[in-house]
Structure 1
């Protein structure tokens, strides 16, 4: 994974957008490839297309398996339709990195000593030593290639793994016949035997400081090549010079630093040979993703802001230079000056539309700043309650800090749309909305607050309810709860019925001890203490009553709830009866 970079996620497991970055499209059920190698652990996730990046978020291990790639590195794309069991894929051909950076390695790099490098060179059969030349049977760790008879794809396989059932093809997924594997293994054994017999009669290759000279055509080859680049003859060497050993060791360190997970142990590939990555679409949506990707790559929005700033500054400089000329001009010179001013006015009018984009970006920054201040004030001691309430209301009234999730952004099927809508709802609740309401909010209130924050493209009640109902399925920190009377609320996931009942009873007992007498509580008292609405407060009190923790006293003044002492009262009836007698 040389080109992929780790990314940060929000509390709803969505990518944290960069400055001026906007979501374009999202598709679930995708997997990643580095070249033709399938990446283990990156085969069950969703891909986000933004104006700046292509982001992958894994559905199971999102904290550690969420990566992104910059669209500025993409110079060509290619679409591959599905074949039988092979899913459609979009290949992104990337530019080589201009500066060294730390890639994500699926296996940790390990240092290689000169001794280990020499042993590894012998195990790779880079030179035919006498011990190796005497052995004509293939090694169990040797790797051979078999050609798929369906799609003609070359698959790598170890000799030790060829005894069991044939593995499926990496491209089409069809298992070959056993005879195909046996023929490929016999062909490899025959080539190795011929090479060993032929190399036993060859003279020793001439060594110099740059490489090995071929005994047939005298072409100087690189020390890591097993065969001559010009004539194909096997290169034979008894001893490897120390200088060449150092060079070979450096090449081994590069080649062994990163290992693709699908290859068998012992097989390595060089990341420099991989110039593209693939995105496999298992549940559809590849056509829409491809069309939107072409538009984004054509617009190159990540460069637009820089061009706008440069153009506006250039126009301002020209305007400042011409404004200094206050003397009236007549004749041809006056007409030229008037023509220049007209061009300047047209240019400023064109750039005013670009300034609207900058104004919208500033509005998003204001929303983020207001949310930050609101969260800090909610946790800071000594801040007036009026200031906290005003700032929370202002941040809610501005807009959503993240782009609005619309049905056109989702891929195939409605499940992706509802999942993304649920994640944005979780982000909206996590920005201080639920804290203001005491951790519990009715579904009607949340619906009005969210649609007011959207401002446009309002969500229907049906879509809103379906999105909220999958909070627990997506493992978000919120859940739906329905009371006996039919009232539906959204609350934090750890707010179970027992936890809320225990919190309510602890407050009632503490209030009774402080007063010295139990005067009971009303729904309005609970509303002032916990911030719940009166409807939710009454529902929680009734639940505590049904569980036997509270008892009610209904009168003309209203209903008050008291701690139920009947269940815990110990009555010594014998003592009471005999005292009366």
Structure 2
């Protein structure tokens, strides 16, 4: 039995700093559903549960993980279930009543956690003066933390400014005639000083294939949940959010996307807008779907189509322009904006 691991033989005497909160008579102790000790007096102090019968046992409140109430039946007494681990509970059976009041006071004592204050409090720190002293001490500690944080932030901003200037200089030089070893070492040391370990495509990637796989892993689920395509801007933000501090430059991302053909690919609309889309996307089926949506609604704006497709208004407008380019929709421009209607002219009908 695990009873002795939690309930220890004790004396009916208070510890230093301990006080009685409440008590109940005729309380039996159970380990799970097995009776361990019959009727006795159960005391609740601010530090322990104290059971007094033929023997005296006590359990520290800090061993209790949770408590619950068992209403019992007309043949069984009300009980408090005390959980000390995920696999072990003790039951306190109140055969003389008072279970709910005892449980309420027990839960209050567990929330107060007075045993954390220690047993050696001799009155100092008590009262208005003690409270004011604690508040003052905490305020001083907070000021120190804030000062240190702003000092670190100032240092980081200064380092970031130097980094920007150095990176711009190195970018221009790398395009002209490449970097020297000394300049590369200088840039790496600047990165390490602010906690970064990689930069750009010069030192960060173990290979193009690895970068392409990383891009596919990030963008494929996004495209699948966004009507098959996302804008290049959103793709760039998604990738760098996933990479954390290992930021990817726009040039490197664009170069990698141009080499990826499956399962996603880079596509350019006639307007010049570039998107990342699923390679398996059936353009003809998509145009049929958009025409169907226009006919069902009577008319659609880019914002309305974006809501239907769960995509951006920019991509929705490009979709509508594609359908218009196939003569399957007509536009109406007014002060209310641009709206697209089904093309009834091809059907030989009047609107």
- TM-score, normalised with respect to structure 2: 0.40
Which structure shows the bigger proportion of residues in strand conformation? 2
